Chain A
Amino acid sequence: MQASLSLSLSLPPAAPRSDPAPTVFRPSALRFCGLRREALGLRPLRPAGSTWVFPSPARTPSRKTVAAVSGNGSPSKGFDYDLVIIGAGVGGHGAALHAVEKGLKTAIIEGDIVGGTCVNRGCVPSKALLAVSGRMRELQNEHHLKALGLQVSSPGYDRQGVADHANNLASKIRNNLTNSLKALGVDILTGVGTIAGTQKVKYGKVGFPDTEITAKDIIIATGSVPFVPNGIEVDGKTVFTSDHALKLEWVPEWIAIVGSGYIGLEFSDVYSALGSEVTFVEALDQLMPGFDPEIGKLAQRVLINPRKIDYHTGVFAKKITPAKDGKPVLIELIDAKTKEPKDTLEVDAALIATGRAPFTKGLGLENINIVTQRGFVPVNERMQVIDASGNLIPHLYCIGDANGKMMLAHAASAQGISVVEQIGGRDNVLNHLSIPAACFTHPEISMVGMTEPQAREKAQQEGFEVSVAKTSFKANTKALAENEGEGLAKLIYRPDTGEILGVHILGMHAADLIHEASNAIALGTRVQDIKFAVHAHPTLSEVLDELFKSAKVNTGVSPSSVNEPVTV
C-alpha cells in the first residue's frame, strides 16, 4: 500500500511518461486526480459566503449570451481591455466566454490556431480515431458478434479516410470555437503574446511583439507541448509524438509506445484495433501508474493482456534512433533503478507519450520577476501568479497546462471560469478533487477524486475511516444487453459522514458515467443522500446507483437534503 501510494503521489498521472523528466515536472504539484497538497487539506464545504466551492456556471449557449450581454462590454477606465487572455485553447476559450457573460471587455491572443492542443492535437482528434478503433474492435470480435447473432464479413478500413475523419473533426470544433468567440465579440488578436509589464501585453510575430495593449487583468493560458526526454530523436516519421500520431500518416506493423499513461493507453487502443502490434515501455514497475491500483490491474487484464500488446516495465528508453538506411527504429532500454543496459528493441515506429511540458517560453515572465518551476508558472489555489520572492503578482493569473496543477482541458476551462469569478469580485477556489478525468479506451476508464491508496493515506493522517464499495457491470442489464459486461465501478467514501472521496469506473461509457460522482463531490452531496436519487431503468447509470446503494454509511440522511414536497 505504502509503495503504491508514494508512486501515485510522486508521479503526475496526467503526464504519463516513462522517463524521469527532472527538468519538467514539479514534484510539489500533483496533477490529474486533483491531488495537490493544498487540495488535500481543502475541505469541500467552506463556510458560505467566504468561498464558493464550485460555482457550476453552466456555459451559456453563445447566441443567448449575445442577446443577454449585447456585446463585449466596455473596458474599465484607462485600459484597452478588462481582460486579456494569452492562448486560445480550451482554457482561454472557457475564460473568455465567462468573462463576456460577466460583462468584461475581453481579448484573446493566439499565435497559432484557435483551439490549442485539445482541439487540434489532443483530445478532439484522438476521439475521432478512438471512435474508429472502437467500431473496428467490435467488427473484428467474431465471438462478440456471434453472441449478438450478427454476421459481418472481413471488416477493413481506409487509413486516409480515418485520418480525414480526425482532421475534419478538429477543424469543425476549431471553427465552432472561433465562431463562438467572434459571435460574442471577443477580439481575437493574432500573434505571440508577451507580458510587457504590469497590466501590459505586447503581441505580434515571434520576436517582434510590436503592438502593446493594456488590460486590467491578464490570464496566461499558453498550454503545453509534448515532452520528449533527452536521448530521444524525434523525426516525425518513425519516431513521433501524439502531434504526428494524430495525423495517422501510416499504421506501423509494430509500434513501441513510450509511456503507459492516458495518451499511451489511448493510442495503444487505436493502433491495436487498426492491426498494429504494440510494445509499451514504462519507467515504473507497473503499467498505468496513475490509476487506482485495482482499476489498473483490471485495465491490464482487459486492455493489455488479451491484445497484441507486450510491455517492458521498470525501464527507461535511454536512446531512440529513428529508422533510416533500412534499419528499424532502435530503442535502447536501461533499468530504471540501476541504469544498467537492459535490452534493445527494434520496431517500426516509436510513439513518445511521456507526458507534456508547459509552453511558457517567450512569455516575458522575467520582465515581472517570475521564475518558472521547470517551465510551470507558479500559482496559488486561486491561479494568481507568484513571483520569485513569493509575492502574488496583482492582476496576473495562469490557468491550464501552463500552471501544471491538473493537465486537462476541462480543468483549464474550470480554472479560467474561477479566475473570471474572482475578477468579478466573487472569491472562488476550484475544488480540483471534483474534476473528473477519463481515458477513452474500449472499454473506457474514468475517475474523480482520490485513489484508494491516496484516500487511505489521508485517512491515516487525519484519523478517519475509509470504506470501499464496488459494483460490477456484469450485474447491469443494459451492459449485458450490449454484451459488454466487463467492468467495475468503485466508490471510496467515509463511512462516518458519507463523504465521497473518489469514484473510479472501468467499463462501457465510463467517461460519461463519472459525472454523477463528480457533481456529487463538487456539490458536497453525501452517499446517504444520493442513493435516493432515481435512475432510469435499464441504463448504465444504474451501475452507479448500485454503487451508492451498496455503500454502508453510519449516519442518517442529511437534514438539508430532505426533499420539499413536489406537486404530482
Chain B
Amino acid sequence: MAGVGQLHLGTPFLPSASIRGRSSGGGGSRRLTTRIQAKIREIFMPALSSTMTEGKIVSWVRAEGDKLSKGESVVVVESDKADMDVETFYEGYLAAIMVEEGDVAAVGSAIALLAETEDEIPLAKSQASSSSSPAASPPAAETPVPPSPSETAPEAVSSPPPSPKSSQAAVSSTHPASESGRRIVATPYAKKLAKDLKVELGSVAGSGPMGRIVAKDVEAAAAVAAAAAPVSSVPPKSISDSAAVKAPASPAIQLGTVVPFTTMQGAVSKNMVESLSVPTFRVGYTITTDALDSLYKKIKSKGVTMTALLAKATALALTKHPVVNSSCRDGKSFTYNSSINIAVAVAIDGGLITPVLQDADKVDIYSLSRKWKELVDKARAKQLQPHEYNNGTFTLSNLGMFGVDRFDAILPPGTGAIMAVGASQPTVVATKDGRIGVKSQMQVNVTADHRVIYGADLAAFLQTLAKIIEDPKELTL
C-alpha cells in the first residue's frame, strides 16, 4: 500500500476553498487562464467546479477573428453542474477555435487561441492546426484555474447548487464492445461506476442475471486492480503495476505506446522512490482465526465489518507495543505517536487511498464499523478530507478477500510499520497434544522501519496480536 495514503490525489481532493484562495491571490478573478506564448495566448478549459474534470463547449459566443475586450463573454461551457459563460481576462483577437461546439475538452486543455494583434491571427491559426487534438493536451494541473462563476453570466442563475452526488457525467449510450462482436451487457449503475472508477468493462466478468455486469462486479474489479499494486516487493516495479491499475488487461490499450504518468501516477512514483531511503525488514506470523470468525458471524448483523475487527485488534496490540506505532522522520529521532490511527488501504478511482480510523484503540467496535463505512463511502464519492486519509500511524493492507495467502507491503514514508493481511484458510494443523485438526489460519506480514523498530519488537507485537485474535473477547469490550 506503500505510502499512497499521503498523496494528494489530484484535484478531486483539493478543497474548493483552496482553489479559490489561489485564484483570488492574483487580484481580480481571472476567468480564463492563458499561457503566454509570444503574443499568442492559449485559452484553456476552466474548472468551473471542484469536481469538474472535463467540460463541453455549449456555444462560442464570439467567432474567430472577433476582437475581445477584457471581461467579455467568449464561450459557454457546460460542466458537470451547470452551463456558465466564460469570460476572457485579456484583450485580443479570438484567433482560432480549437474545440468546436458540442465537443468536450479536459480541464486545463487549450480550447482556443487569443492573438494580441490582428496580424498574429494567421500565425495563431497555423499554430492551432499544428497542435494535437485538444483532448490529448496535458491537463494543466499546476495552473491555477478559477472556478468562480461569472457574476454577470446570465446562466449563473440557473446553475443548481453544487451537489457532490451529481458529479457523474452522462453515461455513454453505446456498448463499448458491441462492434467487435462481443457485446458487453452492463447495468446503468455498473457503467457509471466503471466510468468513475476507470474500469474497462471489457475486462470485467459479470455475476448478475444472465452474466450481466452489475455494480459489485465493477467494484470488485476496481479493488483487484488497486490491490495489484503493492503485491510486488520491488518498489520501482510496483510503480508500473499501479500504472496498470487504470485499465487492467484493457483491450483498448495500444501496445508499444509510451504513456506519460498522470498527476497521480507521478505522485505514486515519487513516494515509492522515497520509500527506498528507509531501511525496512519484514516479520511474518500465522494466526488462527476460528474464534475471530465466529465472533464476526455473531456481530456481523450489527454492522460490524472484518476490516473494523482487524483494525481494532491491531490497535489493541499496538497499545502494548508503542514503539511499533512510532515514526522516524529525520533519521535522528523518533516520535511515539500519541494516538493510534489505523490507516486501511482501499481502492478508489483507479488508485489507492488510505482512510484513517482514528483512535482505533479507544473507539468501540460498533462505532468503528460505522466510521469505516462512512469513510469508504466518502472515499468513493471523493469527499475525503486530507485529515481523513493522511494521519495514519500504522497501515493495514488486506488482500485476503482475493484469496491471496501472503504478501508483503511497502512502508509508507513517515510511518513506522505496515501490516499485510492474507486470506484466512482452513489448514490442517498438528495440535500440541499430537492430534491433527483443521483450523482456519491467516498469515500476516509486517514491514517496519528498522531504524526504530527491531525484530524483537515486531515479534512481541505479533504475538500479542495473535493472542487477541485467537481470543477476541477484548474486541467487543
Contact = CB atoms under 8 A, between A and B. Distances in A.
A215 interface: no
A311 interface: yes
Interface in A289-304: 294, 297-298, 300-302, 304
The residue in B160, B163, B214 that gathers the most chain A C-beta atoms within 10 A of its C-beta is B160
Contacts of A328: 209-210
Contacts, number: 83
Nearest to B156: A472
B164 interface: yes
Instruction: Report the interface size class on chain B.
Output: 35 or more
Nearest to A303: B166
A305 B209 contact: no
Contacts of A84: none
B209 A253 contact: yes
A253 B164 CA distance: 25
A270 to B, nearest CB: 16
Nearest to B190: A277
B187 A346 contact: no
B336 interface: no
Contacts of B169: 305
B170 A300 contact: yes
Interface string B160-183: 110111111111011100100001
A388 B159 CA distance: 51
A485 B160 CA distance: 8
Contact of A302 (B166, B210, B212): B166
A351 to B, nearest CB: 14
Nearest to B370: A153
Contacts of A298: 158, 160
Contact of B173 (A141, A312, A487): A312
Nearest to A490: B158
- Interface of B: prevailing SS: loop
A267 interface: no
B157 A346 contact: no
Nearest to B157: A470
A300 B56 CA distance: 15
Interface in B359-380: 377
B188 A306 contact: no
Interface in A443-491: 470-472, 474, 485-488, 490
A314 B165 CA distance: 27
B192 interface: yes
B125 interface: no
B384 to A, nearest CB: 14
B187 A306 contact: no
A485 B161 contact: yes
Contacts of B315: none
A344 interface: yes
Contacts of B83: 297
Interface string A296-335: 0110111011101111110000000000000110000000
The residue in A142, A297, A301, A308 that gathers the most chain B C-beta atoms within 10 A of its C-beta is A301
Given A277-B187, A310-B171, A311-B173, A143 B160 contact: no
Given A298-B160, A328-B209, A343 B174 contact: yes
Interface string A322-362: 00000110000000000000011010100000000000000
Nearest to A297: B83
Given A253-B209, A306-B165, A486-B163, A472 B188 contact: no
B41 interface: no
Interface in B180-218: 183, 185, 187-189, 191-192, 208-210, 212, 214
A279 B188 contact: yes
A254 interface: yes
B81 interface: yes
A490 B170 CA distance: 24
A102 B207 CA distance: 66
Nearest to B58: A297
A414 interface: no
B188 A308 contact: yes
Contacts of B210: 327-328, 346
A308 B173 contact: no
Given A142-B377, A300-B170, A301-B81, A310 B188 contact: yes
Contacts of B188: 254, 277-279, 308-310
A143 B164 contact: yes
Nearest to B381: A143
B296 to A, nearest CB: 19
Contacts of A487: 160
B191 A305 contact: no
A302 B162 CA distance: 11
Contacts of A471: 157
Contacts of A309: 188
B292 to A, nearest CB: 25
Contact of B163 (A306, A308, A344): A306
B170 A253 contact: no
B313 to A, nearest CB: 26
Nearest to A143: B165
B191 A301 contact: no
Given A142-B377, A253-B209, A305-B170, A277 B158 contact: no
A297 B174 CA distance: 20
Contacts of B183: 344
Given A301-B81, A344-B183, A346-B212, A310 B165 contact: no
B165 A486 contact: no
B192 A343 contact: no
A313 B170 CA distance: 12
A490 B158 CA distance: 9
Contacts of A327: 210
13 contacts: A253-B208, A279-B188, A294-B158, A305-B80, A305-B170, A306-B165, A306-B166, A310-B171, A311-B173, A312-B173, A328-B209, A328-B210, A346-B212
Interface of A: 141-143, 253-254, 277-279, 294, 297-298, 300-302, 304-306, 308-313, 327-328, 343-344, 346, 348, 470-472, 474, 485-488, 490
Given A311-B173, A313-B173, A328-B210, 10 more contacts: A277-B188, A278-B188, A294-B158, A302-B160, A302-B166, A305-B80, A308-B187, A308-B192, A346-B210, A472-B157
CB-CB nearest 6 A-B residue pairs:
A310-B188, A306-B166, A308-B189, A310-B171, A312-B173, A277-B187
